């Protein structure tokens, strides 16, 4: 049985994952506007992944007799100064998601709700992977540079990192 406080916190996490999905959608669109279709593909896939994260929590809440609530999603950033600033924002967003995942995990542990605690460990692992990924991307971008052919190689780099998901519209 899910406590009311955990139900509320899980629903907040549904909203956070939904916002992450929309934030990546906006980033994918911005990349397409810049002609960076490889990078757009990467961010579309990230957006899809965040939607699956959202749904996984949504389904969990109902499976343990809580009430999963479809969230109101705040519009994310739509424009970026450049690819470096955009990736930095993505990393910053992921760090905020990590903080809320840790908080939820800690709440579940304090309430001795080990089912929810175990469920949250998927997200703990996922956030570690995401932070590693975005730090890696930032390092690669710094190495490549954004001058001259830089943006072209960054675009290829991000496309190569795309792990499935919806491709950018042709
Ligand atoms: Fe699901 O928030 Fe990142 O990965």
Give the C-alpha separation, 83 to 34, whole Å.
9
Residue 116 contacts residue 6 (beta carbons within 8 Å): yes
Q: Angle at the Cα of 97 (from 92 to 101), degrees rounded to 5?
A: 150
Q: How far is the CA of 30 from the centre of ligand 1 (A)?
A: 20
Q: How far is the CA of 134 from the centre of ligand 1 (A)?
A: 12
From 25, 27, 49, 98, mutation site for ligand 1 pocket: most ligand atoms within 8 A of C-beta? 49
Each of the 170 residues of the chain gets a pLDDT tens digit; together they read 899 999 999 999 999 999 999 999 999 999 999 999 999 999 999 999 999 999 999 999 999 999 999 999 999 999 999 999 999 999 999 999 999 999 999 999 999 999 999 999 999 999 999 999 999 999 999 999 998 899 999 999 999 999 644 444 44
Domains (range + CATH), the chain: 4-160 (1.20.1260.10)
User: Which atom in ligand 1 lies closest to the alpha carbon of residue 126?
Assistant: 4
> Smallest Cα–Cα separation from 105: which of 131, 123, 129?
123
């Amino acid at each position: 049985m899910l406590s009311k406080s955990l139900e509320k916190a899980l629903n907040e996490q549904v909203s956070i994952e939904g916002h992450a999905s929309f934030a990546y959608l906006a980033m994918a669109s911005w990349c397409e506007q810049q002609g960076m279709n490889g990078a757009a593909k990467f961010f579309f896939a990230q957006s899809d992944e965040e939607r699956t994260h959202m749904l996984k929590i949504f389904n969990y809440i109902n499976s343990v007799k809580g009430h999963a609530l479809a969230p109101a999603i705040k519009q994310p950033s739509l424009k970026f100064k450049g690819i470096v600033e955009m990736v930095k924002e993505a990393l910053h967003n992921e760090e905020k998601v990590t903080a809320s995942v840790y908080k939820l995990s800690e709440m579940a542990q304090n309430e001795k709700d080990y089912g929810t605690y175990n469920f949250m460990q998927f997200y703990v692992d996922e956030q570690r992977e995401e932070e590693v990924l975005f730090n890696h991307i930032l390092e690669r971008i710094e190495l490549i540079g954004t001058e001259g052919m830089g943006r072209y190689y960054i675009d290829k780099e991000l496309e190569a990192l795309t792990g499935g998901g919806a491709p950018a519209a042709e």
